[in-house]
């Protein structure tokens, strides 16, 4: 656990008692704070009281006496579409509002570090797509290279539940826009921006607000190195804002599909090959096409970002390349589940929208596509340009018939259930083809979440193996 510093004998309020809220309570108490809590859920409040926590109704002004700060969970709106009433009350009273990310960055460094031979470092990853894969890949590379490392934030362990740093350790954090938007302290050593596509727009008041939340990690944080994906205009703008000149190697530009040669430091993937350039010269290159855990151009962008981040903390190129080949990918994200009789079975249950499904469909040459579920507004007509590799679609769930009307001339079958879709794909797939679960839809018609959908797919496929 990270003990929060600078709060001794202060009364700190915590709003929201989920995983991060509970960890925040413990970390504040360890730092000597008197902690009071509030949650909108009656059952949660009752459980907190039974656990010995002091529950105050923070919707009432009279319960704010003596409170010096409010720490809120990331999922609770603090600005758009409107602030939560408790947060609005804090604003009215002038009580500073922060989150666990802000507490982490102000508390991670301790006097113990004076005894370390090598100062610990933090790599923080944000962006719209690929940040979980990029974070996990960075962590995997560091571990394979023998560097002490922890991973947390929006993936795995909450930031305040991480262990205090060891000598030379690198902590890798995935940070969502919800987390970067409010944190009062953001001081990573290396910050990574993967890409930007529209998401959470109601929470951020539009695309500009969403980008601004991501940008705070760089503008507020002042990292020693900034790894910036420049395949979209927002990343190109951010790299330009941070660099003093094209030769400024504090900014490492990364891209998938375009060549980046005229900069102080760049990493890019083209035609399946990753290249690193420094001061106009190529210093490393290797083939990504045989890295089974990172299929497709979108994963090649993730690979470039992870490569750049780990190079920035001193990992040699060949060690990174070796680690790539042992990376299995994250569950439900272009995850190869099995290869049976020459047919590859891939679980991309996380592809719950058109953009994510398009990236998955672009990653493989001959696809038997399992799609459907609870379709989203606009359907899947926007996927039409990406269906050229689809041999046949097997449509499941609530939107199966709607999807059938939107895929043009692609052969399809209404399979209804995952079991039937897999059975039909198994009967018809030929060697060299890929059976891809990329639903382009939410899971809630048949499953509680995309993870359970992916786990069902995986279990059914594994049962096919001899």
Please write down the HEC assignment for all residues of 55-72: ECCCCCHHHHCCEEEEEE
Q: Does the annotation place 129 within a ligand binding site? A: yes
Same domain, yes or no: 91 and 129: no
Same domain, yes or no: 88 and 223: no
Angle value at C-alpha 357, between 355 and 360, nearest 5 degrees: 115
Same domain, yes or no: 361 and 448: yes
Is residue 290 packed enough to be buried (19+ CB in 10 Å), middle (13-18) or exposed (0-12)? exposed
Same domain, yes or no: 150 and 257: yes
Closest alpha carbon to 78 in 156, 177, 5: 177
Same domain, yes or no: 321 and 381: no
Same domain, yes or no: 279 and 142: yes
Q: Does the annotation place 128 within a ligand binding site? A: yes
pLDDT digits (tens, 9 = 90+) for 8-47: 999 999 999 998 999 999 999 999 999 999 999 999 999 9
- Residue 3 domain-assigned (yes or no): no
- Residue 79 domain-assigned (yes or no): yes
β-strand 265-270 against 273-278: which pairing, if any? antiparallel
Q: Angle, nearest 10°, between helix axes 131-144 and 317-326?
A: 110
Residue 242 lies in domain: 103-326
Number of domains in the chain: 3
Q: Residue 180: which H helix or E strand, with range? A: helix 177-182
- CATH code for the domain of 80: 3.40.50.720
- CATH code for the domain of 436: 3.90.190.20
What whole-number distance in Å separates Cα of residue 258 and Cα of residue 445? Answer: 40
pLDDT at 215: 96
- Residue 6 domain-assigned (yes or no): no
- CATH code for the domain of 156: 3.40.1190.10
Same domain, yes or no: 140 and 278: yes
**Structural domain ending residue among the three candidates 79, 98, 117:** 98
Same domain, yes or no: 40 and 124: no
Q: Does the annotation place 127 within a ligand binding site? A: yes
Tokens matching residue 435 = 């059976």
**Are the C-beta atoms of 401 and 365 separated by less than 8 Å?**
no
Q: Does the annotation place 131 within a ligand binding site? A: yes
Same domain, yes or no: 38 and 23: yes
Same domain, yes or no: 229 and 272: yes
Q: Residue 255: which H helix or E strand, with range? A: strand 251-256
Same domain, yes or no: 75 and 109: no
**Are the C-beta atoms of 381 and 406 separated by less than 8 Å?**
yes
- Residue 1 domain-assigned (yes or no): no
What whole-number distance in Å separates Cα of residue 228 and Cα of residue 251? Answer: 7
pLDDT at 388: 95
**Structural domain ending residue among the three candidates 326, 351, 373:** 326
pLDDT at 156: 83
CA of 348: how far to CAs of 128, 154, 232, 358, in Å?
Answer: 17, 19, 23, 11
- Residue 4 domain-assigned (yes or no): no
**Structural domain ending residue among the three candidates 301, 326, 351:** 326
Same domain, yes or no: 402 and 308: no
Low-confidence ranges of the chain (pLDDT < 70): none
In three-state form (DSSP H/G/I as H, E/B as E, the rest C), the secondary structure along 325-387 is: HHCCCCCCCCEEEEEECCEEEEECCCCCCHHHHHHHHCCCCCEEEEEECECCCCCCHHHHHHH
pLDDT at 201: 85
Tokens matching residue 250 = 């504090």
């Amino acid at each position: 656990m990270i003990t929060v510093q600078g709060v001794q004998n202060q009364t700190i309020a915590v709003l929201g008692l989920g995983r991060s809220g509970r960890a925040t309570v413990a970390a504040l108490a360890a730092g000597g704070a008197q902690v009071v809590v509030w949650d909108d859920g009656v059952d949660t409040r009752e459980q907190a009281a039974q656990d010995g926590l002091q529950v105050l109704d923070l919707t009432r002004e009279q319960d704010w006496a003596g409170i010096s700060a409010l720490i809120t969970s990331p999922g609770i709106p603090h600005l758009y579409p409107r602030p939560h009433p408790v947060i609005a009350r804090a604003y009215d009273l002038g009580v500073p509002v922060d989150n666990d990310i802000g507490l982490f960055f102000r508390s991670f460094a301790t006097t113990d570090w004076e005894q370390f031979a090598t100062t610990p470092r933090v790599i923080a990853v944000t962006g719209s797509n690929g940040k979980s894969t990029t974070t996990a890949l960075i962590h995997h590379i560091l571990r394979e290279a023998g560097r002490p490392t922890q991973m947390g934030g929006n993936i795995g362990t909450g930031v305040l539940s991480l262990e205090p740093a060891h000598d030379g350790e690198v902590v890798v954090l995935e940070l969502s826009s919800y987390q970067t938007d409010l944190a009062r302290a953001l001081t990573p050593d290396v910050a990574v921006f993967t890409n930007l596509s529209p998401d959470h727009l109601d929470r951020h008041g539009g695309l500009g607000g969403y980008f601004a939340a991501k940008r705070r990690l760089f503008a507020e944080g002042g990292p020693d190195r900034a790894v910036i994906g420049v395949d979209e205009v927002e990343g190109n703008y951010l790299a330009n804002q941070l660099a003093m000149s094209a030769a400024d190697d504090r900014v490492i530009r990364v891209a998938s599909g375009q060549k980046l040669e005229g900069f102080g430091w760049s990493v890019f993937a083209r035609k399946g090959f990753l290249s690193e350039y420094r001061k106009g010269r190529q210093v490393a290159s290797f083939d990504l096409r045989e890295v089974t855990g990172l299929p497709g151009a979108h994963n090649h962008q993730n690979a470039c970002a992870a490569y750049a981040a780990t190079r920035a903390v001193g990992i040699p190129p060949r060690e990174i390349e070796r680690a790539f080949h042992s990376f299995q990918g994250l569950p439900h994200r272009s995850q190869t589940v099995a290869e049976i009789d020459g047919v590859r079975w891939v679980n991309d249950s996380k592809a719950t929208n058109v953009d994510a499904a398009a990236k998955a469909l672009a990653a493989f040459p001959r696809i038997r596509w399992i799609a459907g579920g609870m379709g989203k507004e606009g359907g899947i007509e926007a996927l039409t340009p990406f269906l050229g590799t689809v041999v046949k679609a097997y449509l499941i769930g609530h939107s199966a018939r709607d999807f059938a009307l939107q895929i043009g001339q692609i052969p399809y079958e209404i399979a209804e259930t995952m079991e039937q879709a897999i059975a039909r794909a198994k009967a018809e797939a030929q060697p060299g083809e890929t059976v891809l679960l990329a639903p382009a839809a939410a899971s809630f018609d048949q499953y509680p979440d995309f993870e359970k959908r992916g786990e069902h797919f995986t279990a059914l496929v594994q049962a096919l193996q001899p």
